Amino acid sequence: MYVDEIAAYVPRTEQEAGDKAMMLDYLRRFPEDILTRENKIAHLTSSGFVVNREGTRVLMAHHNIYKVWAWTGGHADGEADLLSVALREAREETGAIHIRPLSTAIASLDILPVWGHVKRGQWVPAHQHLNVSYLLVADEGDALHFREGENTGVAWLPADRLLELTNEWQMDEVYTKLLERARALL
């Protein structure tokens, strides 16, 4: 169960400890809709940080809304198996089919603010993503394709230039720690 997995996660940073505490509080307060977008304040999302077998490249998608290269992931939309959500989203957003977990354990917990924006012609108010991250590895030989309507590109970015290419300062710390954690497992 996702609540037990999040509760069992051992934070490695002060930020993760604080975010874990807030996430567990939200999970207790809103058990009926925390897995869905019906909760307009905060809801669970799951992301996959996808690396190649050597940890030298990171698979990213160029997202339409924010116009940046970013990791894959999405809303739980009622799905309690957050690792499955991360794997599904990684495959759907990149086209890569040979994606597997480096570990089935949660790699990071992060509360990510989402600015208000328009999606599919509808206004989406600002809210929080209670994000559960997993480390994934993919085969660089897989054909890639972007998810029309959501992404405008998919590419393997060099890990040593990742922060320069993603150009999303608020994600720098998240990407840096996930890359370090992925490389430690390879």
Interval 85-137: pLDDT, tens: 999 999 999 999 999 999 999 999 999 999 998 888 999 999 999 999 999 99
pLDDT at 21: 98
Quote the tokens at residue 141: 């030989």
pLDDT at 165: 96
Residue 95 in contact with residue 130, Cβ under 8 Å? no
CATH no. for residue 50?
3.90.79.10
Provide the number of structural domains found in the chain: 1
pLDDT at 149: 80
Residue 84 structural domain? 2-185
pLDDT at 103: 97
Interval 9-35: pLDDT, tens: 999 999 999 999 999 999 999 999 999
Interval 162-182: pLDDT, tens: 999 998 899 999 999 999 999
pLDDT at 83: 98
CA distance 122 to 44: 20
Q: Is the pLDDT of residue 160 over 90?
A: yes
Give the single-character DSSP code of 28.
H
Q: Which long-range contacts (CB under 8 A, 24 or more apart) does 75-80 make?
A: 75/36, 75/37, 75/43, 75/44, 75/45, 76/2, 76/35, 76/36, 76/43, 76/44, 76/45, 76/46, 77/35, 77/36, 77/37, 78/35, 78/36, 79/35, 80/1, 80/2, 80/35
Torsion of CA 89, 93, 98, 103, to 10 degrees: -40
